[in-house]
Amino acid sequence: MIKRDLYLYHLYLFPGQKNRRSESKCAFLFPHASSATTDSLLTVNENKPQPCDLNSEEATEKPLSLRNVLIRQYSQLCTNTEMKSRLVSYALLSKEGRSLNISSILPDKKETILLFGEPGSGKTSVAQILSSCWAEKTTTDPFNIRRLHLVFQVDCSRAKGDFFQVIKSSISHEKPLDVSEFRETLLGPTDCLLILDGYQEGNKDLDETLEWFLTERQTCRVLVTSHPGKCPALEKNTRTVFQLIQKPEESGS
C-alpha cells in the first residue's frame, strides 16, 4: 500500500515518466528508432495506396497498332542499296509495249493494276520494294508511297480461305488478329494499298470474295502480280495491265 502511494505520488510530481517507461520498452525492441519512427513501425495502415512501379515486368504493355505491326514486318524486306540495284534492272511496259516509269506501278485511289511477269522477272521483288519504302526502311521513296496510311503485302501462292482470311494469315501479329480490324480499313475511306503477289484464279472462295471486294471498296488501291494467263477473269475486268521484264544486261566493251 505504501509502495503504491509512493508510486502515485511520483507520477504526480513527474507526469511524463509513465510515457517514457513505455518508450523505453519500444527502444529496447527498436534501439535505433525514434519515437516517431517507432509509432510508424507499430502502426499498420492497410488503406494507404501503394505506388505503381511503371518499370515492373508485370506492367502490361500497350499493344501495337496495326500500322506499327505492318511497319515492323516490312522494315526487314529490302535495304536502300538493294532497292536501287534492283530497280535499275527492271523495265515496266504497258499492255501495248510502251516503256513506263517504274513509279507508275503504284495504283491511284480505287484503281486496280494487274502486273504480269514471267517467273523470275522481279514481281515479288517490286512488291517488297514498295512495302519497304512505305515502312521507311529506304532513304528514298521513288513511288511517293509514304503518304499512304497502310500497306498490305499478301503472298497468294499458297492462299487458303476467302479474301479476308488470306490477308489475316499474311500479317505477323503476336496476338490473334480480329478480321474486323482491317476489314473496315480496306473497305472504307482510308488511303491504303493492297498488294496481292502471285495471285492466280482457281480458289473459288478467294476469287469470289476478291471480286466482291473490288466492287465494294471505297478507296483502297490494289496491285495484283501474276503470271500471264493465270487470271483471265480479273484481266478482263481490269483496265490497267502492265508487264514487268528484266532489262538485258549491257555487254562490256
pLDDT tens digits, residue range 174-223? 676 778 878 999 999 999 999 999 999 999 999 999 999 999 999 999 99
Average pLDDT of 122-139?
90
More confident of the two residues 222 and 159: 222
Average pLDDT of 113-139?
92
pLDDT exceeding 90 applies to what percent of the chain?
54
- Reading the block at residue 81, the C-alpha cell is 542499296
Q: What is the structure's pLDDT at 40? A: 44
**Distance (Å, whole) CA 225 – CA 137:** 23
pLDDT tens digits, residue range 44-59? 444 544 444 444 443 3
Catalogue all structural domains in the chain, each as residue range(s) with its CATH number: 1-29 (no CATH), 66-246 (3.40.50.300)
Work out whether strand 240-246 and strand 150-155 pair parallel, antiparallel, or are unpaired.
unpaired
Helices of type H across 43-148: 66-74, 80-87, 123-134
Q: What is the structure's pLDDT at 172? A: 82
**Distance (Å, whole) CA 161 – CA 172:** 17
**Distance (Å, whole) CA 224 – CA 194:** 8
Distance from the first to the final alpha carbon of the chain? 129
Q: Is the pLDDT of residue 127 over 60?
A: yes
Average pLDDT of 241-252?
81
- Contacting residues for 163 by C-beta, under 8 A, at least 6 apart: 205, 206, 209, 210, 212, 213
Q: Is the pLDDT of residue 168 over 60?
A: yes
Local confidence band at 116 (pLDDT 50, 70, 90 cut-offs): very high
More confident of the two residues 21 and 41: 21
Mean pLDDT score of the chain: 80
**Distance (Å, whole) CA 119 – CA 129:** 17
Task: Give yes or no for a contact between 213 and 163, defined as CB atoms under 8 angstroms apart.
Answer: yes
Work out whether strand 240-246 and strand 99-100 pair parallel, antiparallel, or are unpaired.
unpaired
